[in-house]
Amino acid sequence: MSAEQAITAERIEQGIAGFVSGRVNAEVPADQDLFASGLVSSMFAMELVVHLEQAFSVQILGDDLKRDNFRTVAAMTALVLRLRDAGQPADA
Amino acid sequence: MTANPRSDTIAVFGAGVMGRSITALALGRGVDVVLVDVSDDVLRAAEADIAQQLRHGRFMGAFPDSQATGTLTTTLSGEAAADATAVVEAITEDSSLKARTLAEVSGVVAPGTTLITNTSGIPIDELAKSVRRPAELAGVHFMNPAYLIEMVEVIRGPQTAEDTVAAVFSLLGRLGKKAVVVHDAPGFVTSRLLHPMINEAARIVAEGTASVESVDRLMQGCLGHPTGPLRTADLIGLDNLADALRLLAERTGNTAFAPCDLLREKVRRGDLGRKTGRGFYDYEGVLS
Ligand SMILES: NC(=O)c1ccc[n+]([C@@H]2O[C@H](COP(=O)([O-])OP(=O)(O)OC[C@H]3O[C@@H](n4cnc5c(N)ncnc54)[C@H](O)[C@@H]3O)[C@@H](O)[C@H]2O)c1
Protein backbone atom coordinates (compact mmCIF):
# COMPACT_ATOMS: atom_id res chain seq x y z
CA MET A 1 0.00 0.00 0.00
CA SER A 2 1.40 3.41 -0.93
CA ALA A 3 1.36 6.25 1.58
CA GLU A 4 -1.43 7.87 -0.42
CA GLN A 5 -3.52 4.69 -0.39
CA ALA A 6 -2.97 4.33 3.34
CA ILE A 7 -4.28 7.84 3.90
CA THR A 8 -7.32 7.11 1.76
CA ALA A 9 -8.04 3.92 3.70
CA GLU A 10 -7.71 5.76 6.97
CA ARG A 11 -9.99 8.53 5.82
CA ILE A 12 -12.63 6.04 4.68
CA GLU A 13 -12.38 4.10 7.92
CA GLN A 14 -12.76 7.27 9.96
CA GLY A 15 -15.72 8.35 7.89
CA ILE A 16 -17.49 5.03 8.38
CA ALA A 17 -16.64 4.83 12.08
CA GLY A 18 -17.93 8.37 12.54
CA PHE A 19 -21.22 7.58 10.83
CA VAL A 20 -21.73 4.37 12.81
CA SER A 21 -20.80 5.76 16.20
CA GLY A 22 -22.95 8.84 15.58
CA ARG A 23 -25.95 6.64 14.98
CA VAL A 24 -25.40 4.11 17.77
CA ASN A 25 -24.22 6.70 20.26
CA ALA A 26 -21.08 4.79 21.18
CA GLU A 27 -17.44 4.50 20.25
CA VAL A 28 -17.03 1.75 17.69
CA PRO A 29 -13.62 0.09 17.30
CA ALA A 30 -12.83 -0.89 13.69
CA ASP A 31 -12.84 -4.61 14.47
CA GLN A 32 -15.97 -4.76 16.61
CA ASP A 33 -18.62 -7.14 15.31
CA LEU A 34 -21.58 -4.79 14.94
CA PHE A 35 -24.15 -7.53 14.37
CA ALA A 36 -23.05 -9.77 17.23
CA SER A 37 -23.03 -6.85 19.65
CA GLY A 38 -26.58 -5.95 18.61
CA LEU A 39 -25.47 -2.43 17.70
CA VAL A 40 -26.85 -2.67 14.22
CA SER A 41 -30.55 -3.28 13.75
CA SER A 42 -31.94 -4.65 10.52
CA MET A 43 -33.09 -1.17 9.49
CA PHE A 44 -29.74 0.43 10.23
CA ALA A 45 -27.98 -2.30 8.27
CA MET A 46 -29.62 -1.07 5.09
CA GLU A 47 -28.89 2.55 5.94
CA LEU A 48 -25.24 1.57 6.14
CA VAL A 49 -25.43 0.15 2.63
CA VAL A 50 -27.04 3.31 1.28
CA HIS A 51 -24.67 5.54 3.21
CA LEU A 52 -21.56 3.80 1.87
CA GLU A 53 -22.91 4.04 -1.66
CA GLN A 54 -23.65 7.73 -1.38
CA ALA A 55 -20.63 8.81 0.63
CA PHE A 56 -18.06 6.94 -1.45
CA SER A 57 -19.77 6.84 -4.85
CA VAL A 58 -19.80 3.07 -5.10
CA GLN A 59 -22.52 0.58 -5.94
CA ILE A 60 -22.86 -2.47 -3.76
CA LEU A 61 -24.52 -5.20 -5.78
CA GLY A 62 -25.14 -8.92 -5.90
CA ASP A 63 -22.72 -11.00 -3.88
CA ASP A 64 -21.15 -7.96 -2.23
CA LEU A 65 -24.46 -7.27 -0.54
CA LYS A 66 -23.91 -9.74 2.26
CA ARG A 67 -23.72 -9.20 5.95
CA ASP A 68 -20.09 -10.27 6.34
CA ASN A 69 -19.05 -7.20 4.36
CA PHE A 70 -20.79 -4.98 6.90
CA ARG A 71 -19.92 -6.82 10.07
CA THR A 72 -17.17 -4.42 11.16
CA VAL A 73 -15.97 -0.95 10.25
CA ALA A 74 -12.78 -2.59 8.93
CA ALA A 75 -14.75 -4.94 6.67
CA MET A 76 -16.78 -2.03 5.27
CA THR A 77 -13.59 -0.07 4.65
CA ALA A 78 -12.11 -2.99 2.74
CA LEU A 79 -15.28 -3.31 0.66
CA VAL A 80 -15.32 0.39 -0.21
CA LEU A 81 -11.63 0.34 -1.14
CA ARG A 82 -12.09 -2.72 -3.35
CA LEU A 83 -15.14 -1.26 -5.12
CA ARG A 84 -13.41 2.09 -5.66
CA ASP A 85 -10.36 0.40 -7.14
CA ALA A 86 -12.55 -1.71 -9.39
CA GLY A 87 -14.69 1.20 -10.52
CA GLN A 88 -11.96 3.89 -10.78
CA PRO A 89 -14.37 6.84 -10.89
CA ALA A 90 -13.33 9.75 -13.05
CA ASP A 91 -12.35 11.91 -10.08
CA ALA A 92 -10.14 9.26 -8.45
CA MET B 1 -54.78 -7.60 -19.96
CA THR B 2 -56.93 -10.69 -20.39
CA ALA B 3 -58.64 -12.24 -17.43
CA ASN B 4 -56.51 -15.09 -16.26
CA PRO B 5 -57.99 -17.52 -13.78
CA ARG B 6 -54.50 -18.61 -12.76
CA SER B 7 -53.14 -15.10 -12.50
CA ASP B 8 -50.69 -14.64 -9.70
CA THR B 9 -51.22 -10.96 -9.16
CA ILE B 10 -52.26 -9.06 -6.10
CA ALA B 11 -53.38 -5.45 -6.08
CA VAL B 12 -52.17 -3.15 -3.32
CA PHE B 13 -54.01 0.13 -2.67
CA GLY B 14 -51.91 2.88 -1.08
CA ALA B 15 -48.21 3.28 -1.87
CA GLY B 16 -47.18 4.68 1.49
CA VAL B 17 -45.07 3.04 4.20
CA MET B 18 -47.09 -0.18 4.29
CA GLY B 19 -48.11 -0.41 0.64
CA ARG B 20 -44.42 -0.27 -0.27
CA SER B 21 -43.22 -2.88 2.16
CA ILE B 22 -46.11 -5.26 1.40
CA THR B 23 -45.34 -4.84 -2.30
CA ALA B 24 -41.65 -5.57 -1.69
CA LEU B 25 -42.65 -8.67 0.26
CA ALA B 26 -44.86 -9.98 -2.54
CA LEU B 27 -42.35 -9.21 -5.31
CA GLY B 28 -39.56 -10.83 -3.34
CA ARG B 29 -41.71 -13.95 -3.10
CA GLY B 30 -42.40 -13.98 -6.84
CA VAL B 31 -45.93 -12.58 -6.75
CA ASP B 32 -46.78 -9.83 -9.27
CA VAL B 33 -48.18 -6.60 -7.85
CA VAL B 34 -50.40 -3.84 -9.19
CA LEU B 35 -49.79 -0.91 -6.87
CA VAL B 36 -52.43 1.84 -6.83
CA ASP B 37 -52.19 5.31 -5.33
CA VAL B 38 -53.85 8.68 -5.89
CA SER B 39 -50.56 10.51 -6.39
CA ASP B 40 -48.15 10.03 -9.25
CA ASP B 41 -45.30 11.51 -7.20
CA VAL B 42 -45.96 8.98 -4.47
CA LEU B 43 -45.86 6.16 -7.02
CA ARG B 44 -42.50 7.35 -8.41
CA ALA B 45 -41.02 7.54 -4.93
CA ALA B 46 -42.52 4.15 -4.12
CA GLU B 47 -40.84 2.49 -7.09
CA ALA B 48 -37.42 3.65 -5.92
CA ASP B 49 -38.15 2.70 -2.35
CA ILE B 50 -39.42 -0.75 -3.25
CA ALA B 51 -36.27 -1.46 -5.27
CA GLN B 52 -34.26 -0.53 -2.18
CA GLN B 53 -36.46 -2.68 0.06
CA LEU B 54 -36.00 -5.67 -2.22
CA ARG B 55 -32.24 -5.26 -1.76
CA HIS B 56 -32.76 -4.92 1.97
CA GLY B 57 -34.85 -8.09 2.05
CA ARG B 58 -32.23 -10.01 0.10
CA PHE B 59 -29.49 -8.58 2.31
CA MET B 60 -31.33 -9.87 5.38
CA GLY B 61 -32.06 -13.24 3.78
CA ALA B 62 -35.81 -12.61 3.82
CA PHE B 63 -36.49 -14.02 0.35
CA PRO B 64 -35.68 -17.50 -0.98
CA ASP B 65 -32.42 -17.30 -2.96
CA SER B 66 -33.73 -19.03 -6.04
CA GLN B 67 -36.89 -16.95 -6.20
CA ALA B 68 -37.44 -14.83 -9.32
CA THR B 69 -38.79 -11.40 -8.43
CA GLY B 70 -42.39 -10.59 -9.30
CA THR B 71 -43.33 -7.79 -11.69
CA LEU B 72 -44.42 -4.39 -10.39
CA THR B 73 -47.01 -2.24 -12.13
CA THR B 74 -47.89 1.14 -10.64
CA THR B 75 -51.03 2.99 -11.59
CA LEU B 76 -53.47 5.72 -10.60
CA SER B 77 -56.41 3.62 -11.77
CA GLY B 78 -58.23 1.40 -9.30
CA GLU B 79 -59.71 -0.52 -12.24
CA ALA B 80 -56.31 -2.14 -12.69
CA ALA B 81 -57.20 -4.32 -9.72
CA ALA B 82 -59.81 -6.16 -11.78
CA ASP B 83 -57.65 -9.22 -12.51
CA ALA B 84 -56.06 -9.59 -9.10
CA THR B 85 -56.62 -12.73 -7.05
CA ALA B 86 -56.45 -10.69 -3.86
CA VAL B 87 -56.54 -7.02 -2.97
CA VAL B 88 -54.68 -5.49 -0.05
CA GLU B 89 -56.04 -2.12 1.04
CA ALA B 90 -53.25 -0.10 2.71
CA ILE B 91 -54.41 3.49 2.32
CA THR B 92 -54.42 6.24 4.94
CA GLU B 93 -55.99 5.28 8.29
CA ASP B 94 -59.22 7.22 7.77
CA SER B 95 -62.48 5.32 8.11
CA SER B 96 -64.53 7.22 5.53
CA LEU B 97 -61.69 7.17 3.00
CA LYS B 98 -61.31 3.43 3.51
CA ALA B 99 -65.06 2.88 3.22
CA ARG B 100 -65.11 4.73 -0.09
CA THR B 101 -62.10 2.93 -1.51
CA LEU B 102 -63.24 -0.52 -0.41
CA ALA B 103 -66.67 0.11 -1.95
CA GLU B 104 -64.98 1.04 -5.21
CA VAL B 105 -62.65 -1.95 -5.14
CA SER B 106 -65.43 -4.36 -4.39
CA GLY B 107 -67.26 -3.08 -7.48
CA VAL B 108 -64.22 -3.68 -9.68
CA VAL B 109 -63.08 -7.18 -8.66
CA ALA B 110 -64.79 -10.44 -9.48
CA PRO B 111 -66.74 -12.33 -6.80
CA GLY B 112 -64.35 -14.69 -5.05
CA THR B 113 -61.52 -12.17 -4.89
CA THR B 114 -60.13 -11.96 -1.39
CA LEU B 115 -60.35 -8.45 0.05
CA ILE B 116 -57.80 -7.67 2.71
CA THR B 117 -57.58 -4.53 4.77
CA ASN B 118 -54.34 -3.64 6.50
CA THR B 119 -56.04 -1.21 8.88
CA SER B 120 -54.28 -0.83 12.21
CA GLY B 121 -57.49 -0.98 14.15
CA ILE B 122 -60.74 -0.03 12.43
CA PRO B 123 -63.08 -2.96 13.12
CA ILE B 124 -63.44 -5.20 10.06
CA ASP B 125 -67.19 -5.30 10.51
CA GLU B 126 -67.36 -1.53 10.29
CA LEU B 127 -65.51 -1.63 6.95
CA ALA B 128 -67.59 -4.62 5.81
CA LYS B 129 -70.60 -2.30 5.59
CA SER B 130 -69.13 -0.66 2.51
CA VAL B 131 -68.28 -3.75 0.43
CA ARG B 132 -70.62 -5.76 -1.76
CA ARG B 133 -69.62 -9.17 -0.35
CA PRO B 134 -68.73 -8.76 3.33
CA ALA B 135 -67.94 -12.49 3.57
CA GLU B 136 -64.88 -11.91 1.35
CA LEU B 137 -63.31 -9.24 3.55
CA ALA B 138 -60.72 -10.02 6.24
CA GLY B 139 -58.13 -8.05 8.13
CA VAL B 140 -54.45 -8.85 7.75
CA HIS B 141 -52.35 -6.61 9.92
CA PHE B 142 -48.88 -6.65 8.41
CA MET B 143 -46.17 -4.94 10.44
CA ASN B 144 -43.53 -2.61 9.02
CA PRO B 145 -41.28 -3.69 7.36
CA ALA B 146 -43.62 -6.40 6.09
CA TYR B 147 -40.83 -8.24 4.26
CA LEU B 148 -38.82 -8.70 7.47
CA ILE B 149 -41.41 -9.34 10.17
CA GLU B 150 -42.50 -12.93 9.96
CA MET B 151 -45.70 -12.76 11.97
CA VAL B 152 -48.98 -11.13 10.98
CA GLU B 153 -52.25 -10.66 12.82
CA VAL B 154 -55.26 -11.98 10.91
CA ILE B 155 -58.64 -10.57 11.88
CA ARG B 156 -61.76 -12.55 11.20
CA GLY B 157 -64.77 -10.25 11.19
CA PRO B 158 -68.15 -11.62 12.24
CA GLN B 159 -69.12 -11.86 8.56
CA THR B 160 -65.78 -13.16 7.23
CA ALA B 161 -66.33 -16.54 5.53
CA GLU B 162 -64.32 -19.67 6.28
CA ASP B 163 -63.24 -19.76 2.61
CA THR B 164 -61.90 -16.24 2.91
CA VAL B 165 -59.81 -17.16 5.93
CA ALA B 166 -58.50 -20.18 4.01
CA ALA B 167 -57.63 -18.00 1.00
CA VAL B 168 -55.84 -15.54 3.28
CA PHE B 169 -53.82 -18.37 4.78
CA SER B 170 -52.88 -19.68 1.38
CA LEU B 171 -51.65 -16.23 0.32
CA LEU B 172 -49.76 -15.77 3.59
CA GLY B 173 -48.14 -19.18 3.11
CA ARG B 174 -47.01 -18.06 -0.32
CA LEU B 175 -45.55 -14.93 1.31
CA GLY B 176 -43.72 -16.96 3.96
CA LYS B 177 -45.70 -15.52 6.87
CA LYS B 178 -46.89 -16.98 10.11
CA ALA B 179 -50.26 -15.81 11.37
CA VAL B 180 -52.37 -15.67 14.48
CA VAL B 181 -56.12 -15.27 13.99
CA VAL B 182 -58.08 -13.02 16.33
CA HIS B 183 -61.62 -11.75 16.58
CA ASP B 184 -62.74 -8.30 15.57
CA ALA B 185 -62.35 -5.37 18.00
CA PRO B 186 -61.01 -1.81 17.82
CA GLY B 187 -57.21 -2.07 17.56
CA PHE B 188 -57.44 -5.89 17.50
CA VAL B 189 -54.61 -7.17 19.72
CA THR B 190 -51.37 -5.59 18.55
CA SER B 191 -52.52 -1.98 18.10
CA ARG B 192 -54.61 -2.12 21.25
CA LEU B 193 -51.43 -2.93 23.16
CA LEU B 194 -48.69 -1.20 21.20
CA HIS B 195 -50.29 2.13 20.32
CA PRO B 196 -51.26 3.14 23.89
CA MET B 197 -47.78 2.03 25.01
CA ILE B 198 -46.16 4.36 22.49
CA ASN B 199 -48.55 7.14 23.52
CA GLU B 200 -47.51 6.66 27.17
CA ALA B 201 -43.84 6.55 26.20
CA ALA B 202 -44.26 9.94 24.52
CA ARG B 203 -46.04 11.28 27.61
CA ILE B 204 -43.19 10.05 29.80
CA VAL B 205 -40.72 11.95 27.62
CA ALA B 206 -42.89 15.09 27.61
CA GLU B 207 -43.17 15.00 31.40
CA GLY B 208 -39.39 14.88 31.66
CA THR B 209 -39.20 11.54 33.46
CA ALA B 210 -36.72 10.15 30.95
CA SER B 211 -35.20 10.88 27.56
CA VAL B 212 -36.32 9.19 24.36
CA GLU B 213 -33.17 7.05 24.41
CA SER B 214 -33.62 6.07 28.05
CA VAL B 215 -37.22 4.94 27.53
CA ASP B 216 -36.21 2.77 24.58
CA ARG B 217 -33.14 1.38 26.30
CA LEU B 218 -35.16 0.36 29.34
CA MET B 219 -37.83 -1.33 27.27
CA GLN B 220 -35.14 -3.12 25.29
CA GLY B 221 -32.80 -4.07 28.08
CA CYS B 222 -35.31 -4.86 30.81
CA LEU B 223 -38.34 -6.03 28.88
CA GLY B 224 -36.91 -7.51 25.72
CA HIS B 225 -38.57 -5.09 23.32
CA PRO B 226 -36.59 -5.38 20.05
CA THR B 227 -36.25 -1.66 19.31
CA GLY B 228 -38.05 0.26 22.05
CA PRO B 229 -41.48 1.90 21.63
CA LEU B 230 -40.27 5.27 20.35
CA ARG B 231 -37.98 3.86 17.68
CA THR B 232 -40.93 1.68 16.69
CA ALA B 233 -43.09 4.81 16.52
CA ASP B 234 -40.65 6.38 14.06
CA LEU B 235 -40.79 3.26 11.95
CA ILE B 236 -44.60 3.27 11.90
CA GLY B 237 -44.93 6.97 11.07
CA LEU B 238 -46.20 9.41 13.68
CA ASP B 239 -49.10 10.67 11.54
CA ASN B 240 -50.42 7.16 11.11
CA LEU B 241 -49.92 6.51 14.80
CA ALA B 242 -51.89 9.62 15.77
CA ASP B 243 -54.70 8.68 13.36
CA ALA B 244 -54.85 5.14 14.73
CA LEU B 245 -54.86 6.37 18.34
CA ARG B 246 -57.68 8.80 17.60
CA LEU B 247 -59.76 6.02 16.03
CA LEU B 248 -58.98 3.75 18.97
CA ALA B 249 -60.06 6.41 21.48
CA GLU B 250 -63.31 7.02 19.57
CA ARG B 251 -64.19 3.35 19.26
CA THR B 252 -63.29 2.26 22.80
CA GLY B 253 -64.45 5.43 24.55
CA ASN B 254 -61.13 5.50 26.40
CA THR B 255 -59.93 9.10 26.12
CA ALA B 256 -56.45 8.20 27.40
CA PHE B 257 -55.90 6.55 24.00
CA ALA B 258 -56.17 9.92 22.21
CA PRO B 259 -52.77 11.00 20.84
CA CYS B 260 -50.82 12.98 23.45
CA ASP B 261 -49.64 16.57 22.94
CA LEU B 262 -46.06 15.69 22.04
CA LEU B 263 -47.18 13.27 19.36
CA ARG B 264 -49.62 15.79 17.89
CA GLU B 265 -46.99 18.50 18.03
CA LYS B 266 -44.53 16.36 16.05
CA VAL B 267 -47.17 15.59 13.45
CA ARG B 268 -48.01 19.29 13.17
CA ARG B 269 -44.33 20.08 12.55
CA GLY B 270 -44.10 17.37 9.90
CA ASP B 271 -41.65 15.29 11.93
CA LEU B 272 -43.28 12.01 11.04
CA GLY B 273 -40.46 9.57 11.79
CA ARG B 274 -38.21 7.72 9.38
CA LYS B 275 -40.28 8.62 6.37
CA THR B 276 -39.43 12.31 6.77
CA GLY B 277 -35.98 11.81 8.31
CA ARG B 278 -36.95 12.94 11.80
CA GLY B 279 -39.38 11.87 14.50
CA PHE B 280 -38.37 10.99 18.03
CA TYR B 281 -34.92 10.35 16.55
CA ASP B 282 -32.97 12.09 13.83
CA TYR B 283 -32.18 9.95 10.80
CA GLU B 284 -29.89 12.53 9.20
CA GLY B 285 -31.87 12.51 6.01
CA VAL B 286 -31.29 8.80 5.47
CA LEU B 287 -34.63 7.55 4.21
CA SER B 288 -35.32 3.90 4.52
N1 LIG C 1 -47.14 2.33 9.27
C2 LIG C 1 -47.23 1.16 9.87
O3 LIG C 1 -46.28 0.70 10.50
C4 LIG C 1 -48.50 0.35 9.77
C5 LIG C 1 -48.49 -0.96 10.26
C6 LIG C 1 -49.64 -1.73 10.12
C7 LIG C 1 -50.77 -1.21 9.51
N8 LIG C 1 -50.76 0.09 9.07
C9 LIG C 1 -51.97 0.58 8.40
O10 LIG C 1 -51.71 0.53 6.99
C11 LIG C 1 -52.43 1.57 6.32
C12 LIG C 1 -51.44 2.46 5.58
O13 LIG C 1 -50.57 3.08 6.51
P14 LIG C 1 -49.22 3.79 6.05
O15 LIG C 1 -48.40 3.95 7.26
O16 LIG C 1 -48.67 3.08 4.87
O17 LIG C 1 -49.80 5.22 5.59
P18 LIG C 1 -49.10 6.29 4.64
O19 LIG C 1 -49.65 7.59 5.04
O20 LIG C 1 -47.62 6.10 4.63
O21 LIG C 1 -49.62 5.89 3.18
C22 LIG C 1 -50.95 5.95 2.80
C23 LIG C 1 -51.01 6.06 1.26
O24 LIG C 1 -52.36 5.87 0.82
C25 LIG C 1 -52.56 6.70 -0.30
N26 LIG C 1 -53.99 6.85 -0.53
C27 LIG C 1 -54.86 7.65 0.13
N28 LIG C 1 -56.10 7.49 -0.40
C29 LIG C 1 -55.99 6.58 -1.39
C30 LIG C 1 -56.92 6.00 -2.30
N31 LIG C 1 -58.22 6.33 -2.26
N32 LIG C 1 -56.47 5.10 -3.19
C33 LIG C 1 -55.17 4.75 -3.23
N34 LIG C 1 -54.24 5.27 -2.39
C35 LIG C 1 -54.65 6.17 -1.47
C36 LIG C 1 -51.83 7.97 0.07
O37 LIG C 1 -51.54 8.75 -1.07
C38 LIG C 1 -50.56 7.41 0.73
O39 LIG C 1 -49.53 7.21 -0.23
C40 LIG C 1 -53.19 2.31 7.42
O41 LIG C 1 -54.47 1.74 7.53
C42 LIG C 1 -52.37 2.02 8.65
O43 LIG C 1 -53.10 2.17 9.83
C44 LIG C 1 -49.64 0.87 9.18
- Same domain? For B211 and B176 the reply is no
Residue B97 and residue B130: Cα distance in Å, rounded? 11
Per-domain boundaries in chain A: 3-86
Average pLDDT, chain B: 94
Categorize the per-residue pLDDT at B7 as very low, low, confident or very high, splitting at 50, 70 and 90: low
Read off the pLDDT of each residue in B252-280 and give the average, rounded to a whole number.
97
Q: How many whole angstroms from its chain centre is CA A39?
A: 15
Min CA distance, B32 vs chain A (Å)?
A: 22
Select from A25, A42, A65 the Cβ nearest to the Cβ of B55.
A65
- Same domain? For B100 and B167 the reply is yes
- Same domain? For B26 and B165 the reply is yes
- Same domain? For B118 and B179 the reply is yes
Domain assignment of residue B286, yes or no: no
| Closest protein CA for atom 6 of ligand 1 | B143
Are B192 and B183 in contact by the 8 Å Cβ rule? The answer is: no
**Which of B151, B183, B215 is at the close of a domain?**
B183
* Confidence check: pLDDT of B288 > 70: no
**pLDDT of amino acid A23:** 82
Q: What percent of chain B has pLDDT over 70?
A: 96
Categorize the per-residue pLDDT at A3 as very low, low, confident or very high, splitting at 50, 70 and 90: confident
Read off the pLDDT of each residue in B253-278 and give the average, rounded to a whole number.
97
Are B28 and B63 in contact by the 8 Å Cβ rule? The answer is: yes
B235 in contact with chain A, both atoms CB, cutoff 8 A:
yes
Select from B55, B60, B288 the Cβ nearest to the Cβ of A47.
B288
Give residue B180 CA to ligand 1 midpoint distance, Å.
Answer: 22
A67 in contact with chain B, both atoms CB, cutoff 8 A:
yes
A49 vs B contacts (CB less than 8 Å): 55-56, 59
Q: What is the largest CA-CA distance in chain A?
A: 38
Domain assignment of residue B104, yes or no: yes
- Same domain? For B120 and B97 the reply is yes
pLDDT digits (tens, 9 = 90+) for A7-33: 889 999 999 999 999 888 788 999 999
**pLDDT of amino acid B189:** 98
**pLDDT of amino acid B148:** 95
- Same domain? For B249 and B159 the reply is no
A51 in contact with chain B, both atoms CB, cutoff 8 A:
yes
pLDDT digits (tens, 9 = 90+) for B23-77: 999 999 999 999 999 999 999 999 999 999 999 999 888 998 888 999 999 999 9
pLDDT digits (tens, 9 = 90+) for B114-160: 999 999 999 999 999 999 999 999 999 999 999 999 999 999 999 99
**pLDDT of amino acid B286:** 44
Categorize the per-residue pLDDT at B2 as very low, low, confident or very high, splitting at 50, 70 and 90: very low
**pLDDT of amino acid A92:** 42
Domain assignment of residue B262, yes or no: yes
Containing structural domain, residue B79: 9-183
> What chain A residue is nearest to B274 in terms of C-alpha separation?
A43
Read off the pLDDT of each residue in B106-120 and give the average, rounded to a whole number.
97
Are A46 and B288 in contact by the 8 Å Cβ rule? The answer is: yes
**Which of B135, B152, B183 is at the close of a domain?**
B183
Give residue A70 CA to ligand 1 midpoint distance, Å.
Answer: 32
Cβ contact (<8 Å) for B55 and A66? no
Residues framing ligand 1 (Cβ under 6 A): B 13-19, 36-39, 42, 90-93, 97, 101, 118-120, 141-144, 236-237, 240, 244
- Same domain? For B99 and B133 the reply is yes
- Same domain? For B227 and B173 the reply is no
Q: What percent of chain A has pLDDT over 90?
A: 49
DSSP B110-128: PTT-EEEE--SSS-HHHHH
Here the CATH number for the domain that contains residue B198 is: 1.10.1040.10
Min CA distance, B286 vs chain A (Å)?
A: 7
Categorize the per-residue pLDDT at A66 as very low, low, confident or very high, splitting at 50, 70 and 90: confident
Q: How many domains does chain B have?
A: 2
Smallest Cα–Cα separation from A46: which of B124, B62, B141?
A: B62
Read off the pLDDT of each residue in B262-279 and give the average, rounded to a whole number.
96
Are B240 and B274 in contact by the 8 Å Cβ rule? The answer is: no
Q: How many whole angstroms from its chain centre is CA A83?
A: 11
Categorize the per-residue pLDDT at B193 as very low, low, confident or very high, splitting at 50, 70 and 90: very high
* Confidence check: pLDDT of B3 > 60: no
State the closest ligand 1 atom to the C-alpha of B46, by its place in the atom list counted from 1. Answer: 39
Categorize the per-residue pLDDT at B226 as very low, low, confident or very high, splitting at 50, 70 and 90: confident
Read off the pLDDT of each residue in A78-88 and give the average, rounded to a whole number.
87
CATH code, residues A3-86: 1.10.1200.10
Smallest Cα–Cα separation from B225: which of A27, A24, A41, A45?
A: A41
Domain assignment of residue B66, yes or no: yes
